[in-house]
Amino acid sequence: MKKAKYTWQLREKTELPEEFSNILVNEQINPLLGQILWHRDIRSKESLDLFLHPTVENLYDPFLMYDMEKTVTRLQEAVAQGEKILVYGDYDADGITSTTVMKEAIELIGGEVDYFLPNRFIHGYGPNLAVFKEQIENGVQLIITVDNGVAGHEAIHYAKEQGIDVIVTDHHELPPELPDAYAIIHPKHPQGHYPFGDLAGVGVAFKVATALLGELPTEFLDLVAIGTIADLVSLTDENRVLVKMGLEMIRTGERIGLDILIHLAELKKEAISEESIGFTIAPRLNALGRLGDAAPGVELMTTFDEEEAERIAMFINSQNDERKEIVTRITNEAFELIDPTDPIHIVAKPGWHEGVLGIVAGRIMQDTGKPAIVLTIDENNETAKGSGRSVSALNLFDALSEIRDVFTHFGGHHMAAGMTLPVMNIERMKEHLISYLKENQIDLSQGQELLIDETLKVEEATIPFIQQLKILGPFGTDNPVPNFLFEDITVEQCRQIGADKSHLKFQLSQAGTTLDAIAFQMGNQAEEFGQGTTNITGQLSINEWNGNKKPQLMVSDFSVDGVQLFDLRGKNGRQKEIPVLNTMYIFFNSDSQKLIDHQTSHQQFFTTVEETVEQIKITNSQQLVFVDCPDDIDWLKQITQAGKIERVYLMGISSEEAYLNGTGTREQYAQLYKFVRQQEQVDVRYKLNVVAQHLKIQEKLLIFMIQVFFDLGFVTIENGVLRKVENPENHALTESQVYQTRLKRIKTEEFLLYSDRETLQQWLWNEEEV
């Protein structure tokens, strides 16, 4: 049995009202899609029209935001009086696009405007007092923040003392006390009445730009789409309208720097989607701030010089490549430090680049299904700084807020947190989180929830159906790409692909119909398929190659029902990873324990079938590893069928190699007997290899033959010295119990080591005999 990585939450089928069903028919929408729309609260003709065909008319009046009129008036005064204006942004993709929108909007009304993006390693996040001082000393007369500012009390207070107005535009969580700014534009301002509170920083900047210009600046919508998608805000309501129109602006617009970046990223401009923004463009812009200065992002978006744009875009690409290399290295090192039994993973190491630790924590969380905190330690081994990523079951911000005293700096939200703390406090943080999980009865063993929209049959995954799924886009937070479940599937033609064989490609087969599937980062799970009944969930897409289109499933998760057998025979098998939890290693020969490197708390040396079965039940073992071969093959079947065994790993190491060496020929026994009769004694402890070479008999076979002679009373062995027995009784070789056991072992090894896995699996859980 292979358990799913996630906890699947399958939506229940809803009997759609006749009125809504008729709407679907009129719109020619597949009823399966109707179920998804209904569950996403699209339940009337009006809401469906708005969802499918959003327009500028669906955008809210920017003056509904608190302080908007005051902000516009102050900006107009600043421009009229020729004041020097500073846009103070942030170092991520949302901050870059927010800064660009605000800068260009002020320039359009004739303002003298400059911008500043803080360096995360020098200035940190948000308004920096030293930067504000420097900028004011250099003549700045008005500061407007974008994508930050609601927590910038110190710097904003200083500016006010100097007679400099600060306008804050932000979308982050509001603190209990707001800064003493000239104006605060925030969609969730406690004194405001704005209908939609989930705008990204660039969305808020766009609202200011709209109010300032007196019309909708559609030329900024490309930037709005990028920042909104990158910041993972809710892609519903107004954000859906902004992103949908913004994607169209990217496809048809002429922002030189963005066009070149798209080209260098090997994307087709006319086919740009929220996916290509989220996985290709946004990471490139984010890479700037992760490694250093994010200002080139604004330069790229604002330049009209094609050569300069190409130079900047190439630099951004190189930064992104460097970022990926750093992430890969740190991720590999971090996984080496993880204890898989820990309920939460906290890893720290000197020299890790702090700019990518959030990405690494996210990868650990995704791979293990457990919250993760990744920290870098300074060169003095005193301070640790890093990021955490959590699962939905644990509010990481709330949990860590209970021990704020251990942190030098701390902030975050439900799913993520950033912190700086003394190295000595890391252990206290870990102990607190483990206690928090216990006290609040938070069970992380089930994995994160994965919402599944529909159960489909393979024959229903058609190109027309997949094409119609696109009407649900753009996809993102609160409007995810639908996940579909395919049950009782046979997996065919499964193979590893990719330069490092880290991905899988296979076909789902059901009732004579097949569906291509890709499973990224699942290359090491190829052997899971083809055993038992497979259930697979994922997202549907269309694969187009040389003009041919085929449906394709991008696998999110899978499970396998029934007991599974994993073939670890041969030297390569010993290197494969075996789960530790609820696993018992079984040795039929005590000497075999030294042949493997795997360590487990449950190791059982076989004495009897009954005792081994009892130990399996006591330890609640669900996985068995048969390290070597038994003398009697039925022992293996009896043990396997005991308890609630889900997975069996067969290594089948044979130190004796009975099948290969056989029992020896009559001529070899005669030769050995003659040799023994000619010797007074033979040192078989230290000179056995010499005897084997002399008789030209393989050493392991020679040991067995001597054991047969001893069993029949032809020789004695004491303290490693073999002596002949004078006038022994005549016995046939087959009268030896050692010889009979060898015959059984040969039969066992022949079947266990040389049968294919399917034959072994059929035999283990059925009544067939060998």
pLDDT digits (tens, 9 = 90+) for 327-386: 999 999 999 999 988 999 999 999 999 999 999 999 999 888 899 999 999 999 999 999
Q: Give the side-chain half-sphere CA count within 13 A for 309.
A: 17
Q: Given this model, what pLDDT does residue 598 score?
A: 58
* Residue extent(s) of CATH 1.10.10 domains in the chain: 659-735
Q: Given this model, what pLDDT does residue 102 score?
A: 98
Q: Given this model, what pLDDT does residue 749 score?
A: 93
Q: Residue 409: exposed, middle, or buried by beta-carbon count in 10 A (0-12, 13-18, 19+)?
A: exposed
Gap between the Cα atoms of 596 and 158, Å rounded: 66
Cβ proximity of 346 and 406 under 8 Å:
no
Q: Given this model, what pLDDT does residue 1 score?
A: 81
At 416, phi and psi to the nearest 5?
-150, 155
- The reported pTM is 0.83
Both tokens of residue 710? 């001893």
* Residue extent(s) of CATH 3.40.50 domains in the chain: 564-655+750-764
Gap between the Cα atoms of 162 and 442, Å rounded: 50
Q: Quick one: which H or E segment has residue 746?
A: helix 737-754
Gap between the Cα atoms of 745 and 738, Å rounded: 10
Rounded to the nearest 10 degrees, the angle between the axes of helix 737-754 and helix 699-711 is 140
624 residue type, one letter? L
Query: How far is Cα of residue 83 from the mean position of the Cα atoms in its chain?
Result: 49
- Tokens 């870098």 belong to 376
Q: Give the side-chain half-sphere CA count within 13 A for 243.
A: 33
Gap between the Cα atoms of 179 and 532, Å rounded: 61
Helix (H, G, I), strand (E, B) or coil at 59: coil
Helix (H, G, I), strand (E, B) or coil at 497: strand
Residues 399-444 pLDDT 10s = 999 999 999 988 877 888 899 999 999 999 999 999 999 999 988 8
Give 659-735's CATH code, choosing from 1.25.40, 1.20.1070, 1.10.3470, 1.10.10: 1.10.10
Gap between the Cα atoms of 346 and 375, Å rounded: 8
> What radius of gyration do the chain's Cα atoms show?
35
**Mean pLDDT for the chain?**
93
Gap between the Cα atoms of 71 and 73, Å rounded: 5
Cβ proximity of 97 and 171 under 8 Å:
no
Q: Give the side-chain half-sphere CA count within 13 A for 665.
A: 7
Gap between the Cα atoms of 338 and 488, Å rounded: 35
Q: Given this model, what pLDDT does residue 369 score?
A: 87
Q: Given this model, what pLDDT does residue 194 score?
A: 97
Give the residue among 171, 128, 119 at the shortest CA–CA distance from 150: 171
Topology of domain 450-561, CATH: OB fold (Dihydrolipoamide Acetyltransferase, E2P) (2.40.50)
Give a three-class secondary structure readout of 82-118: CCEEEEECCCCHHHHHHHHHHHHHHHHCCCEEEEECC
Q: Given this model, what pLDDT does residue 367 score?
A: 87
Gap between the Cα atoms of 131 and 112, Å rounded: 19
The separation between the first and the last C-alpha atoms of the chain, rounded to the nearest angstrom, is 25
Q: What letter would DSSP give residue 436?
A: H
Gap between the Cα atoms of 7 and 447, Å rounded: 6
* Residue extent(s) of CATH 2.40.50.460 domains in the chain: 450-561
Q: Residue 497: exposed, middle, or buried by beta-carbon count in 10 A (0-12, 13-18, 19+)?
A: middle
Cβ proximity of 103 and 302 under 8 Å:
yes
Gap between the Cα atoms of 538 and 120, Å rounded: 37
Helical segments of 396-425, H only = 396-401
As beta bridge partners, residue 566 has: 649
From the CB of residue 77, how many other CB atoms can be counted at a distance below 10 Å?
A: 12
At 300, phi and psi to the nearest 5?
-65, -40
Cβ proximity of 692 and 699 under 8 Å:
yes
Q: Quick one: which H or E segment has residue 216?
A: none
From the CB of residue 666, how many other CB atoms can be counted at a distance below 10 Å?
A: 8
Helix (H, G, I), strand (E, B) or coil at 174: coil
Cβ proximity of 627 and 585 under 8 Å:
yes
From the CB of residue 292, how many other CB atoms can be counted at a distance below 10 Å?
A: 16
At 52, phi and psi to the nearest 5?
-85, -30
Dihedral angle over CA of 570, 571, 573, 576, nearest 10? 180
101 residue type, one letter? V
Q: Given this model, what pLDDT does residue 512 score?
A: 93
Q: Given this model, what pLDDT does residue 186 score?
A: 97
Q: Residue 731: exposed, middle, or buried by beta-carbon count in 10 A (0-12, 13-18, 19+)?
A: middle
374 residue type, one letter? V
Task: Identify the architecture of domain 564-655+750-764 in CATH.
Answer: 3-Layer(aba) Sandwich (3.40)
Both tokens of residue 616? 């399996």
Q: Given this model, what pLDDT does residue 600 score?
A: 60
Gap between the Cα atoms of 505 and 765, Å rounded: 29
Task: Identify the architecture of domain 58-319 in CATH.
Answer: Alpha-Beta Complex (3.90)
Q: Given this model, what pLDDT does residue 392 score?
A: 85
Topology of domain 344-439, CATH: Diaminopimelate Epimerase; Chain A, domain 1 (3.10.310)
Gap between the Cα atoms of 751 and 90, Å rounded: 66
Residues of the chain with pLDDT under 50: none
Greatest Cα pair distance, the chain, in angstroms, is 125
